[in-house]
Amino acid sequence: MKFDLIDRVTDRDAASLSAVKNVSAAEEYLGDHFPGFPILPGVMMLETLVQAARHFAAGADDPPTTPLVIKEVRNVKYAGMVRPGQTLDVTVTLRKRDGHAYDFQGVGKVGGQTAVQGRFCLEPIAQSH
């Protein structure tokens, strides 16, 4: 199953990309997380940042030719919940690029308040020979 979490890219420049994820009560995984008190799982918040970073890389002058996967995640902090009806506004900022390997800082906010933040590295998926 593929989760496309980016609803819309809202801004992009040479070093960053901003996007939104509108959380809907109709999202299947919210039924179990948690019954009677649905919130966007932390791993889905992180995945939203990662997907925004992939959008950034895809828009590069020389985009990767293979899918980008997570190489490393550092210092992820969850500071708030995201409930159905709310919007997670994410911004990813490129810290460093080495070929098609990317190092990002990301932050996700709801109503101006930080819900998730952290650093992560993406690299092209290894091709089998």
Average pLDDT over every residue of 14-34: 94
In a domain, 99, yes or no: yes
Total domains, the chain: 1
Domain, as residue range, for 93: 8-124
Read off the CATH number of the domain in which 105 is found.
3.10.129.10
8 A C-beta contact, residue 83 and residue 23 = yes
Q: What's the pLDDT band for 128 if we cut at 50, 70, 90?
A: low
The per-residue pLDDT for range 67-126, each reduced to its tens digit, is 999 999 999 999 999 999 999 999 999 999 999 899 999 999 999 999 999 999 999 998
pTM: 0.94
Q: Which candidate in 33, 55, 100, 129 is catalytic?
A: 33
CA distance 87 to 1: 22
Average pLDDT over every residue of 5-22: 98
Among candidate residues 56, 62, 59, the one with its CA nearest the CA of residue 103: 56
Looking up tokens 């919940």 gives: 81
Q: Is 33 a known active-site residue?
A: yes
The per-residue pLDDT for range 97-109, each reduced to its tens digit, is 999 899 999 999 9
